[in-house]
């Protein structure tokens, strides 16, 4: 039996969030949090709109998911994010105790996996590569237009 709700499906949902950020002039990063094969939170970067350097997609998605669950920990949840989390977001993900993080494109300059992978909770599984090309191209297109 084919499962239509696989990693590709959920990363496409995160990518749609990134496209919303792009349209707003935000760095195009999108995220969804999934529990029991259901999206419980969606977010995209809003640092410019909210004038808040902490309004990264991951942070907003963590908050929305915790509110949905009525709990501060995101056990048995997966975050799909279009770009490798930064150190700030990796720290927030650590504290949320999320079970799994799947990101699309690597962030060669600010990515937590490159800078300090120990920022993630020891029980959090971190993987990448789902829609890596598409996610990376969206980021490159955004910065190309800004320069």
Q: Which residues are catalytic?
A: 58
What are the respective helix, strand and coil percentages of the chain, to the nearest 5?
45, 20, 35
Please tell me the distance from the alpha carbon of residue 83 to that of residue 31, in angstroms, as a whole number. 9
Dihedral over Cα of 72, 73, 76, 80: its sign: positive
* E strand map for 66-140: 77-83, 100-105, 125-128
Please tell me the distance from the alpha carbon of residue 41 to that of residue 110, in angstroms, as a whole number. 24
Please tell me the distance from the alpha carbon of residue 16 to that of residue 104, in angstroms, as a whole number. 13
């Amino acid at each position: 039996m084919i499962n239509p709700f696989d990693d590709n499906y959920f990363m496409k949902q995160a990518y749609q969030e990134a496209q919303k950020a792009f349209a707003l002039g935000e760095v195009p990063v999108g995220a969804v949090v999934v529990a029991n094969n259901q999206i419980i939170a969606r977010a995209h970067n809003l640092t410019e709109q909210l004038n808040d350097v902490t309004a990264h997609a991951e942070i907003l998605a963590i908050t929305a998911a915790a509110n949905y669950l009525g709990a501060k920990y995101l056990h048995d949840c997966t975050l799909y994010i279009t770009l490798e989390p930064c150190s700030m977001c990796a720290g927030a993900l650590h504290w949320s105790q999320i079970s799994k993080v799947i990101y699309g494109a690597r962030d060669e300059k600010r990515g937590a996996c490159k800078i300090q992978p120990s920022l993630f909770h020891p029980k959090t599984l971190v993987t990448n590569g789902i829609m890596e090309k598409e996610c990376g191209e969206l980021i490159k297109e955004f910065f190309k237009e800004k320069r």
